[in-house]
Structure 1
């Protein structure tokens, strides 16, 4: 456990919200120094290591980028280039990236080093997860295709406080823009133009009438959603607007999507997909059960299979054919906050959990 805690502190202290090079260097150098694995750094900044042999491959997956820190999370009060602040108190480690997800990343690195794997064991730390899975997609495009993967995003505290569960599914996110075009005119003669705001409002009415999909994965229910979150149109109080844009946030579930294409039935409206982060569904109940068995062995609580509301790199891996679960130290509400933290005992738990999975799957 001491190695996981020390490694977490080291990784968290390294800024990686704009430039991930130094964090990737730290991950790569530790793997080269501490393991006999084959270690590779690809053009996207991903660090991928392999050790062991067998008929199947199991990957422990994380990422070393983070979202921008709050000023109080940076030494010197937000001065560029300084280290991130890392503080230990009350059984927790505080700092940007402790929960999302350098803590679980460190646990996976130590487990990768110490495990006696039953098959080929792979470690991957991706770049650009917070930018829509840039690193994961690049790795997949270059042939990264493990048979199984445990993605170390947060799964602690879903079924009960402090219990590390195993997520067998998560939602995706599709962000769209409805672009309504009309014809400008003076507002004193509205009939001389085509009001783009009116057309946008008609498209919004279509969105409001659409049913969000739902599905069940290994007994876990996922309910999708769709909502208009922004609207922007018009140029002046006395001008009939010729353009209006509407932002739509859609939370997707495996195998189902809202039929947003129906908005294009409104004259002058175009539906544009800006981002599409895929959902994840574990397609192997035996693998999900094996990880759950490992989770039960390393803690006193009773972990369960759960579903996460947030997209992760597991979505990209699952879409490419890897059987995935999500299992990690972070609790709901910790990631991306000014008080981000992770429980130290849970970091040790995850180290042993990952190791047991590597030695049993």
Structure 2
């Protein structure tokens, strides 16, 4: 069994359902410390974070990942125990195999190989891991980034190991992500009998024009390789369950995924203006999940493009800003240029999550090649 496959299996066997790290980071820290890395454990609240570095000065290249996984769901729905790694038909099964213990294992093996081959390499290579990516993302990389900002930690480049490939390893290079902004809207009315609407105020009826305006709005036409900003209503709740009662309150959850045309505070003000124009009695609570980030042309994108083309037999990768969010959104504001390179995204968060063993065994060489192009080429 290869080094990377053995380590991936060891990590999968640890039931690190967010925010529990289940000892994954201590296992990794021991390996990297033996390879000459300096180790720093950054625990905030119930969340474990690991910062491992090798080298000095700049540029600083950080590999970013997470050791936590989403809950497996009903175990009987899985063909095998989600926390007992199993290889079947060339696939490694287990919760976290693709998202993202496979990439984390590849990071570790790649770092070990890189410093063994280049013990006096220029700059710094680093590994940043959290156990709070799949959860609230409050005491993980978000909090680490605050600590880094306070102490002036330099970050030049960041490679996130999220499963970014579409069909074959290396066919997609993620060069940015949209921002995410979530809202909880509460519209207050007056409860009453449906037969006497003049004695009540229906918050559903009052809110519908504003919600329709927000949903129909064309926020922008996109930004470079970013799609247009989108607002999606995800939940609406009101009423007592009876069909003859006008509700006294309406609650709506909605989310905006937005490109660099916008900042969170601008979108908040725009939505507020639409709601105020309808004369609603409401409160609006926002959660800023992260601003958009985008890595322009430069050494990082060029190195990744070349390495991924080599991995796919000369075919240049698609360069995309699609998908959800990643923890890179917290490091980009520190000045780091960020990309995402990882295995095929076919089964993440699903029953019987898996990764191709052949892809997993190719990942360390891919990450090592990226480090070499950026630091010693």
TM-score (norm 1): 0.89
Do the aligned partners of 1:15 and 1:23 also contact (CA within 8 Å) in 2?
A: no
Quick check: 1:188 aligned with 2:195? yes
How far off its partner does 1:338 sit? 0.4
Deviations for 1:94-137, whole angstroms, at most 9, x for unmatched residues? 11101100001110111111112432111111120012433101
Take 1:12 and 1:176, find their aligned partners in 2: how far apart are those partners?
35
* Equivalent in the alignment of 1:129: 133
What is the aligned partner in structure 2 of residue 27 from structure 1? 28
Instruction: Tell whether the 8 Å contact from 1:153 to 1:328 is kept in structure 2 after alignment.
Output: yes
Asked if 1:271 corresponds to 2:284, the answer is yes
Q: Is 1:278–1:311's contact at 8 Å kept on the other side of the alignment?
A: no
SS of the residue 1:308 aligns to:
coil
2:310 counterpart of 1:297? yes
Is residue 41 of structure 1 aligned with residue 46 of structure 2?
no
Q: Show the 5 A alignment for 1:103-114.
A: 103-114=102-113
1:215 CA drift (Å)? 3.2
Q: Does 1:253 align with 2:259?
A: yes
Matches of residues 186-225 of structure 1 in structure 2 within 5 Å?
186-217=193-224, 220-225=225-230
1:326 aligns with 2:349: no
Q: CA deviation at 1:60?
A: 0.8
Deviation at 1:345, TM superposition (A): 1.9
CA root-mean-square deviation: 2.4
Cα deviation 1:271-304 (Å, max 9, x = unaligned): 3213523333114533211122122234425142
Contact 1:166 1:325 in 2 (8 A): yes
Cα distance, 1:3 vs structure 2: 0.9
Shift in alpha-carbon separation, 1:204–1:164, aligned structure 2, 3 A: same
Separation in 2, partners of 1:162, 1:123: 22
- In the TM superposition, structure 1's runs of 4+ consecutive aligned residues that sit over 4 Å from their partners are 73-78
For 1:280 and 1:263, the matched residues in 2 are separated by: 27
CA 1:316–1:4 in 2, change beyond 3 Å: closer, same or farther? same
2:234 matched residue in structure 1: 229
For structure 2, list consecutive stretches of 5 or more residues without a partner in the other structure: none
User: Whole-Å Cα distance in 2 between the matches of residues 229 and 176 of structure 1?
Assistant: 10
Question: Do the aligned residues in 1 keep the contact of 2:178 with 2:293 (CA within 8 Å)?
Answer: yes
Q: CA deviation at 1:221?
A: 3.8
Aligned match of 1:10: 10
Distance 1:63 1:141 in 2: 18
Seen in structure 2, the aligned counterparts of structure 1 residues 280 and 229 have a Cα distance that, compared at 3 Å, is same
Gaps of 5+ in 1: none
1:85 match? 84
